[in-house]
Structure 1
């Protein structure tokens, strides 16, 4: 070779070679193409190195690639859909910005069955200009690898590790050089595990860079990953949702002239229940119309499988993860104002005193007369209707509140647990940061909807029981006896009494709560009562609902966001022979497994909601370190106190070691920390004032300092059983006072490190040794003999096995 090829010639060759579908060329391929032999090969290697430094090519091992070039034939994953419904594909490897690759519906259908989101395939890329490509499928390669959300830690020489945010994901993943996909150190990424080698850490590649780990926009995503909550729907489920249409009137009664209304939060997007009431000669007739999800989501379909896997919708501070695709959850299954929608309707008749006299279920085609907010409905009932509510005042709103007043009379006779704790709502600004935290107002409009929904749920359980059909109940067990004993002891310290020796019903708790309200001790008593309650769950074995004081209860009113409700709908459709979409007999046998699974998904959703809320509130309070807040104690442990701020509802921790000059002991019976010397106490529900010391937004952690002095209490008896008070050697009682400790309660906690004592000087001529603590037996006395250990001061080797003593 007389002269080396130009850099442009090499770039053109590498691009052409790669586009043939053979992958990037090796260095020997380049040398062979330009006839480089002998000493010319060394010159060519130097030229390739210079081109890599200039960013013209990338050298990976012996392979050469044009920077940013995609191979003509490559392996791709289908990751989602665009606004036009086409599939979005992502190559396994690329450089720079992620390429925009589209697979049309026609192209996806060339392989049977058609490709969908989550599939991996081998395809050919066709440039369409402006960095866009269209994929042509060649072969299906199965499902893409399950992705892991984690934090990338870059190594010095390239590559690094991804530490999963979910504890269930296991150990960190190894990212080798070239698989970083442009991720910076500390970035939140989706990593895709690769085939292992049988030993060492699992290898992975970074499939997508989400952003910085500390960005608030990613906090919900972290919480969802921590709880293993899916966020993307399979393509088949999306396709099914988008092809559904409204039914005809063959199986639905036409009630579009009945002015049903929805009453929801002002920012609600899915409306799954509507109500109507009218006065009758004997009392009231009430209609509760629930979106007919069973018509659209059939047993065994892709939609059904995904809904069951999710179990419920998840409502976070900044997003909603729905149980059903948007085409249904915010579309055909949402009872929008002025639009025809199929519904499963519970018609109930109540006496003038609110006792239910009869009910029936039927399918109907309805049209919502108005989508009202709780505030609008309440204002109308109070005599100040706006323009939307005014036309409905006499015919709809006033009868609804009239029927509600009657139902509440019967509710008072039933006496469910009256445990109401304040709820707060986090308001985000345009920058997705917390703008405000507001206390949710609770109107009679809220209670009206709750009362009618509870009544409809009871009717659903009764109907399925009458037809001897297996169903999933919503059950709430009575409090555990041991917890009740602890509550009795705690209440006795406050001069309350809880009945003992009889079956305790919610009415017994209500009497105590009523007394606490009169004494201005509602927070303390409510928190203690709440701690004794069992957790509600789903089960096919009915044990009743303790909190509602109902013998039978099933969720029926929210099938858009709860799978349990969808199973009840299917049961009703089957036993009442209301048309297609009913429950299949083989599925009925699996209801207990389904009940256990959706109880678990419900707990995961609650954990994700709490985790996300903690992070947003911690970020909101980050610039308020050093500020003082009014709070209440919501938890007591031996390690310290958990407190909830009045203003924001944020939860934090006060370590027990920072409470003051004396040692505080945990008294489980009294739900309190009690000073060992003074008897002063901090107890559950107590009103306190705290100072914010530390905020960790990523973990959602808050650490406080207690400013409120402990309540005065009886000084504990420090004597041992059958013994005397603890004394000094001179017989004086041991009493610790404030003067014994230089730190005073009114002094801030110092963050300065403790001063270390200067090291002892080394003995002359002797090397300094590490300290060692050795347990030694006292040597036996021997006449005129000295053991090797005594004479040498060293451990003697043990001879033979040690004798058992």
Structure 2
């Protein structure tokens, strides 16, 4: 590797301040460009000496720049579209001609174009084994250095977050008799490897296995030995293992972490408040193994708060067991959060902690951070206090079980709980709903697909679970608890990680405007947008064929929520301050907030360390990246399982809707299963289809036939590629005539079988890639 040191980057001439002159748009843009991620309205005003009434004109100019799409506001700072924040997580995937590492940002909006290359500068004196390499993820800080001809930015490594795993994942294949088996790697960039046949770990043809290389190709063909067999490629275990491997998600706890967890002991009352007589209960999914929140409510007896309610929340006291700087803490920080697959969980903490000592089990003493909240009759929170307690859950219920009791179908367990516990909970929830309705958070209706597995780990069926009031009750109680945590830490001036959600970018809003115009709806100007604005649009399409589609398009127009120490509020929830506090068993950000409360309220010596404030921005970037990584792995696993399930139905016909339109074709979502697939534009009829970006449609040059986002269609499954999680369909139904040519309103036909199986189309079919 080259030892050249990057040279200082030659930047454009610095913006100059002219005494008495107000800066032009170009001056302000130049200043933003010179200070990416650092320049806010205050910094611009200070740099150009703008005071008094000049700030009003500056605000007008900045608003105009945002509406024109030449700057974006992110965390109260201005950046140009496509610029990077000062601290970010990069995936290292190449080297430049001098051997220096190149990476790409893990969190990148594809609408801004291809991700920019980042030259990653490492410490040459770093201990062996800690240097980053290809396939690693690293936290970096942008540096004012020359990135060279192959990158756009340069950055210095702050921390290596994930090292590429040494094991190689693949499918065991058998050759002819008397020849060694070989590995077909999941990663297509890897070459095939001969397998040592002396210990196959009971693996058979087609099984997923992990191997380590025992001989390189220098003195013969590469050879490897099997480390572990995961079983048939048709099982959920194998499919989710591919996701873990491809995203480098840590899933085996080091021995030192397991040992530390095993040494932990149950907590006794000690200096804690005794909440064991408060009948808190847990309400969770039926198959939940860890329970980190419990709730109870009662009418407020204070005459001054007639019609009000008191809500008690108990949250598992993970901070007692996971102390700063310990092996448990380092591993939880590395993982960032738990990862949920259809048949298993990759936990953030070992089971001894997550499923045992911290889980709020029924009729068992457990340490918790308790929260008492008081609401008036309009659902407005008027007071709250935090407590470090010992509690005992009075009951463990599932969402369906609690809802059935409220709906008049109690069982032997919920019957005795109905009057003293469940009815008061629902009464308090009805009160809190009034406050929620007044707040008007973004109210998207997007049912989530779930997979029911057979005992052998293969897919039984795909379904959309019913959304119950029991789910909404717990969700609203937890939102209020999270707000209370943020308010307390702000008041005590303790640093924290906020859960922030920015407003939509001008580019995404413009795209949404264009789409809504095709449905005859308008989006107001960006200056007055609130969640209620979007809710008004959703209300107009409720119970119409376009409802699901409009929900999806509005979701796509939103920014992504993340963690950061700088508060910009939560747009989607319409909250000024918000922090995650209620799930410390499965989210590291919540553990940070717990430690902050312990420090702020003098609850013990295991609170947030004094020196952490300078590291919170980096921690926020790390846990945000881990969250996105987990979401991607979870989604890919579901897509692969569904593709595997659908592979037995090639040739079958389905109904669905066009869920996406791009130049190369149509994305389809099936009605019955929610499975997603693609129709290449080249296979649609015998016309050349052009992409109309404004209306999200493909329009035939010759016929004017139109296929638009949201149209109902009939399709035939022609290919399923389980490893890629991909389905390919053939379009059977006709599109609508282009209303701009015919002057007629768009129509949508289904069941009009076009000549989809005619010889020209059949010739274009391809066999699945293996």
Same fold? TM cut 0.5: yes
Deviation, structure 1 residue 586 = 2.9
Equivalence map 1:267-416=2 (5 Å): 267-280=287-300, 281=302, 282=305, 283-416=308-441
Cα distance in 2 between the residues matched to 1:208 and 1:171 = 18
Who wins on radius of gyration, i.e. which is larger?
1
Change (3 A) 1:163 1:676: same
Deviation, structure 1 residue 623 = 2.6
List gaps (5 residues or longer) in structure 1: 1-142, 718-742, 756-805
1:679 maps to what in 2? 704
3-state SS of paired residue (2:551)? helix
Please state if 1:241 is matched with 2:281. no
3-state SS of paired residue (2:396)? strand
Deviation, structure 1 residue 505 = 0.8
Deviation, structure 1 residue 153 = 5.6
Deviation, structure 1 residue 431 = 2.3
Residues 482 and 581 in structure 2, CA contact (< 8 A), matched pair in contact too: yes
Cα distance in 2 between the residues matched to 1:207 and 1:551 = 51
Q: 1:254 aligns with which of 254, 260, 274?
A: 274
Cα distance in 2 between the residues matched to 1:334 and 1:272 = 6
Deviation, structure 1 residue 149 = 1.9
Change (3 A) 1:369 1:215: closer
Q: 2:169 aligns with which of 149, 173, 177?
A: 149
Deviation, structure 1 residue 622 = 2.6
Please state if 1:171 is matched with 2:190. yes
Residues 344 and 362 in structure 1, CA contact (< 8 A), matched pair in contact too: yes
Change (3 A) 1:166 1:243: farther
Residues 678 and 716 in structure 1, CA contact (< 8 A), matched pair in contact too: no
Cα distance in 2 between the residues matched to 1:442 and 1:603 = 24
Cα distance in 2 between the residues matched to 1:518 and 1:205 = 57
Change (3 A) 1:197 1:746: closer
Q: 1:522 aligns with which of 533, 538, 547?
A: 547
Deviation, structure 1 residue 501 = 5.2
Change (3 A) 1:623 1:146: closer
Cα distance in 2 between the residues matched to 1:144 and 1:694 = 33
Equivalence map 1:663-674=2 (5 Å): 663-674=688-699
* Coordinate RMSD, CA, aligned: 2.8
1:586 maps to what in 2? 611
Cα distance in 2 between the residues matched to 1:195 and 1:467 = 59
1:711 maps to what in 2? 736
Residues 636 and 672 in structure 1, CA contact (< 8 A), matched pair in contact too: yes
Residues 195 and 226 in structure 2, CA contact (< 8 A), matched pair in contact too: no
Q: 2:677 aligns with which of 640, 652, 666?
A: 652
Residues 214 and 225 in structure 2, CA contact (< 8 A), matched pair in contact too: yes
Alignment deviations for residues 209-262 of structure 1 (CA, whole Å, 9 cap, x no partner): 444445554111111111111221111111221221222222321111110011
1:748 maps to what in 2? 757
3-state SS of paired residue (1:670)? coil
Change (3 A) 1:166 1:285: farther
Q: 2:239 aligns with which of 201, 215, 219?
A: 219
Cα distance in 2 between the residues matched to 1:754 and 1:709 = 19
3-state SS of paired residue (1:590)? helix
3-state SS of paired residue (2:582)? coil
Deviation, structure 1 residue 658 = 1.8
Cα distance in 2 between the residues matched to 1:241 and 1:442 = 36
Deviation, structure 1 residue 453 = 0.4
Change (3 A) 1:539 1:575: same
Equivalence map 1:351-500=2 (5 Å): 351-500=376-525
Cα distance in 2 between the residues matched to 1:669 and 1:233 = 50
Alignment deviations for residues 709-750 of structure 1 (CA, whole Å, 9 cap, x no partner): 213332469xxxxxxxxxxxxxxxxxxxxxxxxx98234255
Equivalence map 1:556-595=2 (5 Å): 556-595=581-620
Identify which range, 693-702 or 328-337, moves more after superposition.
693-702
Cα distance in 1 between the residues matched to 2:487 and 2:753 = 64
1:597 maps to what in 2? 622
Q: 1:228 aligns with which of 243, 248, 253?
A: 248
Residues 651 and 702 in structure 1, CA contact (< 8 A), matched pair in contact too: yes
Cα distance in 1 between the residues matched to 2:401 and 2:710 = 35
3-state SS of paired residue (2:542)? helix
Alignment deviations for residues 23-65 of structure 1 (CA, whole Å, 9 cap, x no partner): xxxxxxxxxxxxxxxxxxxxxxxxxxxxxxxxxxxxxxxxxxx
2:208 maps to what in 1? 188
Cα distance in 1 between the residues matched to 2:317 and 2:466 = 30
Change (3 A) 1:578 1:173: farther
Change (3 A) 1:513 1:413: same
Cα distance in 2 between the residues matched to 1:534 and 1:428 = 33
Change (3 A) 1:176 1:246: closer
Cα distance in 2 between the residues matched to 1:251 and 1:681 = 71
3-state SS of paired residue (1:378)? helix
Cα distance in 2 between the residues matched to 1:463 and 1:372 = 30
Residues 367 and 391 in structure 2, CA contact (< 8 A), matched pair in contact too: yes
Change (3 A) 1:431 1:155: closer
Cα distance in 2 between the residues matched to 1:357 and 1:752 = 68
3-state SS of paired residue (1:390)? coil
Change (3 A) 1:201 1:362: farther
Cα distance in 2 between the residues matched to 1:573 and 1:400 = 28
Residues 148 and 192 in structure 1, CA contact (< 8 A), matched pair in contact too: yes
Deviation, structure 1 residue 456 = 0.5
Change (3 A) 1:172 1:540: farther
Deviation, structure 1 residue 518 = 5.7
Alignment deviations for residues 641-692 of structure 1 (CA, whole Å, 9 cap, x no partner): 1111121111111111222122221122212222223333222232222222
Deviation, structure 1 residue 181 = 4.7
Alignment deviations for residues 266-293 of structure 1 (CA, whole Å, 9 cap, x no partner): 1111111000111013111101111110
3-state SS of paired residue (1:426)? strand
Residues 261 and 328 in structure 2, CA contact (< 8 A), matched pair in contact too: yes
Cα distance in 2 between the residues matched to 1:638 and 1:276 = 53
Cα distance in 1 between the residues matched to 2:630 and 2:764 = 43
Q: 1:537 aligns with which of 550, 553, 562?
A: 562
Residues 565 and 617 in structure 2, CA contact (< 8 A), matched pair in contact too: yes
Cα distance in 2 between the residues matched to 1:262 and 1:744 = 52
Cα distance in 2 between the residues matched to 1:350 and 1:547 = 22
List gaps (5 residues or longer) in structure 2: 1-162, 743-751, 766-770
Cα distance in 2 between the residues matched to 1:216 and 1:366 = 37
Deviation, structure 1 residue 461 = 1.0
Alignment deviations for residues 518-547 of structure 1 (CA, whole Å, 9 cap, x no partner): 654212321221221111111122111111
Change (3 A) 1:215 1:447: closer
Deviation, structure 1 residue 708 = 2.5
TM-score normalised by the chain length of structure 2: 0.72
Deviation, structure 1 residue 203 = 6.2
Cα distance in 2 between the residues matched to 1:463 and 1:484 = 34
Cα distance in 2 between the residues matched to 1:369 and 1:638 = 57
Cα distance in 1 between the residues matched to 2:173 and 2:510 = 51
Deviation, structure 1 residue 386 = 1.7
Alignment deviations for residues 328-355 of structure 1 (CA, whole Å, 9 cap, x no partner): 1111111111111111112111000001
Change (3 A) 1:411 1:208: closer
Residues 442 and 534 in structure 2, CA contact (< 8 A), matched pair in contact too: yes
1:631 maps to what in 2? 656
Residues 270 and 335 in structure 1, CA contact (< 8 A), matched pair in contact too: yes
TM-score normalised by the chain length of structure 1: 0.69
Identify which range, 509-518 or 191-200, moves more after superposition.
191-200
